[in-house]
């Protein structure tokens, strides 16, 4: 399978715990994006990378959130001291550089904070 | 700011009937518009995009969309809906990130 993959698919954690999600983009894609989707809403942009550089972070990304893409390949999204409001689907997407290319999405990681 | 709006939360049609899902956009400059579909507990699947050129764009699974600059709309259409088209549909506009509408739930009844 050469699509975008995410791990884990589901994560249940207790409030206050740290969690980390992984995204593996399509291999030739140099851009990688993170979105968050809550029930009944469209995905909201969190951050994106071009190669290993993080070029923008949404104000939705509080200081408890950090994302990395150390070698320009896979990316991790970490949430520290999770809160119940962090419960959502976290989607990763990748694309080639440029506005015209469509973004290909992974299956998402569903986070539930108890 | 780039944004899209999907005025209908839900669309219900009978199988075999035409399906239309509405989207309007607000952008500065040329719009790059996309439609995605999401099935339950799945990620988003790309359907089609408008970048430039013909106003009628054809995409996956028999879907097409019509770009209308004067009405700032990009409605998704399918001439004959299938029960398997029942899903959540998102319109989006892209600068570098995608800005999504709130989504329209499509239910196709047999």
Count the neighbouring beta carbons within 10 Å of the beta carbon of residue A108.
Answer: 26
Asked whether the predicted pLDDT for residue A1 surpasses 70, the reply is no
CB of A38 within 8 Å of a chain B CB? The answer is no
Q: What is the mean pLDDT of chain B?
A: 94
Asked whether the predicted pLDDT for residue A42 surpasses 90, the reply is yes
State which H helix or E strand residue B108 sits in: strand B104-109
Which residues of chain B are within 8 Å of residue A108 when distances are taken between CB atoms?
Answer: 42-43
pLDDT of amino acid B43: 82
Task: Give tens-digit pLDDT for B39-51.
Answer: 987 789 999 999 9
Sequence-distant (≥ 6) Cβ neighbours of residue B69 within 8 angstroms: B55
Sequence-distant (≥ 6) Cβ neighbours of residue B84 within 8 angstroms: B108
Average pLDDT over residues A91-111: 89
CB of B42 within 8 Å of a chain A CB? The answer is yes
Report the distance separating Cα A1 and Cα A15, nearest Å: 34
**Interchain pair A103, B96: CB under 8 A:** no
Task: Give tens-digit pLDDT for B90-107.
Answer: 999 987 789 999 999 999
pLDDT of amino acid A79: 98
Nearest to A71 by CA among A30, A17, A14, A21: A30
Q: What percent of chain B has a predicted confidence (pLDDT) above 90?
A: 82
Report the distance separating Cα A84 and Cα A7, nearest Å: 20
Asked whether the predicted pLDDT for residue B5 surpasses 90, the reply is yes
Task: Give tens-digit pLDDT for A81-96.
Answer: 999 999 999 999 999 8
Report the distance separating Cα B48 and Cα B63, nearest Å: 8
**Interchain pair A108, B101: CB under 8 A:** no
Question: How many contacts, defined by CB atoms under 8 Å, are there between A and B?
Answer: 58
Which residues of chain B are within 8 Å of residue A45 when distances are taken between CB atoms?
Answer: 97-99
Average pLDDT over residues A63-76: 94
């Amino acid at each position: 399978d050469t699509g975008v993959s995410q791990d884990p698919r589901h994560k249940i954690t207790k409030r206050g715990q740290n969690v980390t999600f992984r995204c593996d983009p399509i291999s030739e894609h140099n851009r990688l994006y993170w979105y968050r989707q809550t029930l009944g809403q469209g995905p909201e942009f969190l951050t994106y990378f071009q190669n290993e550089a993080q070029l923008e972070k949404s104000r939705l990304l509080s200081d408890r959130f950090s994302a990395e893409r150390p070698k320009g390949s896979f990316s991790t999204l970490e949430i520290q001291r999770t809160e119940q409001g962090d419960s959502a689907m976290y989607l990763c997407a990748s694309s080639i550089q440029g506005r015209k290319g469509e973004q290909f999405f992974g299956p998402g990681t569903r986070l539930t904070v108890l | 700011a780039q944004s899209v709006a999907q005025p209908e939360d839900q669309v219900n049609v009978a199988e075999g009937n035409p399906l239309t899902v509405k989207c309007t956009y607000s952008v500065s400059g040329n719009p790059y518009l996309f439609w995605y579909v999401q099935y339950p507990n799945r990620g988003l699947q790309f359907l089609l995009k408008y970048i430039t050129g013909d106003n009628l764009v054809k995409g996956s699974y028999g879907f097409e969309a019509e770009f209308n600059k004067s009405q700032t709309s990009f409605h998704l259409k399918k001439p004959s809906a299938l029960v398997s088209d029942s899903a959540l549909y998102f319109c989006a506009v892209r600068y570098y990130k995608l800005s999504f509408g709130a989504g329209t739930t499509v239910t196709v009844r047999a």
